[in-house]
Amino acid sequence: MFGLVDCNNFYASCERVFRPDLNGKPIVVLSNNDGCVIARSNEAKKLGVPMGAPAFKHRELFEKNDIKVFSSNFALYGDMSNRVMSILSTYTPKMEIYSIDEAFLNFDGFELFDLPMMGLEMREKILKGTGIPVSVGFASTKALAKIANCVAKKFPERTGGVYLIDTDEKRLKALKWLKVEDVWGIGRQHAKKLAYLGIRTAFDFVQLPDSWVKNNMSVVGLRLKRELEGERTLELEDIKQKQSIATTRSFDKMYTTLPELNERVVTFAVTGAEKLRQQKCCCNALMVFIHTNYFKDDLAQCNRNIVLKLPYPTNSSSELAKFAKEALAQIFLKGYSYKKAGVILLDIIPEMPHQLNIFENSNPKHKALMKAIDRINGDFGSHKVILAAQDPARRWKMKQENYSPRYTTKLDEIITIKCE
C-alpha cells in the first residue's frame, strides 16, 4: 500500500497557524511580486477566486468580501513543511517528499496494521504539532493513492480526512466519480483531446484501448492507465540531486540597458551557485534567457536564450557570474524593454569526483573562498557578502506588500504571548 499525505491549502494554512483570528475567514496568498493567486483557503475558493488569478484584476473582489491577502513567505512555508515531513517520517522509513506540501509513504509489510486508524492518528498529530490540516489517501498504487486523497479532502465529514481504496468496488466507484481532468498526470492538453472523444471520468479513460493511449499520450499515459487499473508501475523515488537549478525573476519595472540586466543575471548566477554548492555539485553548462513583457501586445517583443557550455565544471559564484555575463552579452539586443530574466544551471555533476580538464580548470582558490562566503552568509544572513557586480544597495526589491512575519525562522519575528 501507498499513502499520500497532502496538506490542505498549504500556504494559506501556514499563514493561519499564527493568526487564529483568521480561522474560517477567506484568505489568499500571492506569488512573488504579489502577482498571482497561488493559494486560497476554502472560504476564498467558495467566493470564486480562481487559482492563478492576477491579483490586480481581483482587488475589488478581495475588498468586497474582506479577503485577507498575503505575500508569499517561503521562509515560513519551507520551515512548516519540514515540521510536517519530520512527523510523517516517524510512520515509515520509506517516504518520498513529493513537493513542499505532500509526501508518498510506502506501507509494504504493514498488512497487519489498520491503515485508516493510522491515517487518523497522523492527521491529529500533525494538526496538534504544527497546526496544519492534512488529508490522507491509501491505495495500492501511487495514482490511486492520489485519488483516495482527493476523496478524503472532498468529503471531510464522511471520511474524517482519511480514505482507503482497498477493493475493486471502491476503486471503480472512485474512478467513476473523478473527472478525467483531475487525474494526476492528465493536464490541460490531454484533457481537451479526451473531452473531444467524450471521455469524462477517470473510469472512461481506463476503458480506452492501450494503443490509443500509447499513441496519444506516450508511455507516460500508458503507465498511468495501468496505475488506475491497480497495477503498480510507479515506485517511490529517491531524493536525487537536482538535474537543473533555475533562478528566474520578473522585474519590478522594465529594464532596457545591458548594465541593468548584468546585475540581475549575476545575482541569479550567484544564487544558483549557492544552491549548487549546497548539494555538493558542479555544473558544466548554463542557460541565460531574457524576455520582454508578453502581456503587452503593443510593445516590440524579444525572447532570447543561449546555452553556454563551460570549459570546466564549476560551482564558484564568481566564475558562474562571469560566464552568465558573457552569455547575456551574446543575446542582449538594444531597443527592447525587458521584464524578466533567468539563469539555469545545467549538466550538473557531483563535485567529487569529477574529470579535470588538461588545459583549463576552475580556480582552486575559489573553493576555500566560497566556503568562507557560504559560512558568513549562513551565520549572519544571506547577501552579507556579495560580488561587486551585484547591486550593493539592493534596489531591486520584490513587491511584497503583505508579507507576514517569519514566525518560526527569525528570532526577532517570533510571536509574543502576553500572560495576564
Partner DNA sequence: TCTGGGGTCCTAGGACCC
Which residues contact DNA (rule: CB under 7 A)?
Answer: 31-33, 35-36, 38, 52, 54, 56, 98-102, 146, 183-191, 218-220, 240, 242-250, 275, 293, 295, 307, 339-340, 342, 344
The grid coordinates listed for 151 are 476523496
Q: Which is nearer to DNA, 7 or 373 (CB)?
A: 7
Give the nearest distance from C-beta 192 to DNA in angstroms.
8
Q: Which of 43, 102, 227, 319 is catalytic?
A: 102
Q: Which is nearer to DNA, 203 or 251 (CB)?
A: 251
The C-alpha atoms of residue 186 and residue 173 are separated, in whole angstroms, by 19
Give the nearest distance from C-beta 109 to DNA in angstroms.
26
Task: State the burial class of residue 23 (Cβ atoms within 10 Å of its Cβ: 0-12, 13-18, 19+).
Answer: exposed
Q: Report whether 152 contacts 6 (CB < 8 A).
A: no
Rounded to 10 degrees, what is the CA torsion of 195, 199, 203, 205?
A: -80
State the CB neighbour count (10 A cutoff) for residue 2: 25
The C-alpha atoms of residue 136 and residue 164 are separated, in whole angstroms, by 8
The C-alpha atoms of residue 390 and residue 35 are separated, in whole angstroms, by 25
Q: Which is nearer to DNA, 25 or 200 (CB)?
A: 200
Give the nearest distance from C-beta 226 to DNA in angstroms.
13
Q: Which is nearer to DNA, 56 or 359 (CB)?
A: 56
Q: Which is nearer to DNA, 117 or 220 (CB)?
A: 220
Three-state SS across 130-196? HCCCEEEEEECCHHHHHHHHHHHHHCHHHHCCEEECCCHHHHHHHHHHCEHHHCCCCCHHHHHHHHH
DSSP 366: H
Laid out side by side, the sheet with 134-139 consists of 95-99, 102-106, 2-7, 134-139, 162-164
The C-alpha atoms of residue 404 and residue 415 are separated, in whole angstroms, by 11
Known active-site residue 102:
yes
Q: Report whether 145 contacts 108 (CB < 8 A).
A: no
Give the nearest distance from C-beta 388 to DNA in angstroms.
23
Q: Which is nearer to DNA, 191 or 331 (CB)?
A: 191
Task: State the burial class of residue 417 (Cβ atoms within 10 Å of its Cβ: 0-12, 13-18, 19+).
Answer: exposed
Give the nearest distance from C-beta 94 to DNA in angstroms.
18
Catalytic residues: 102
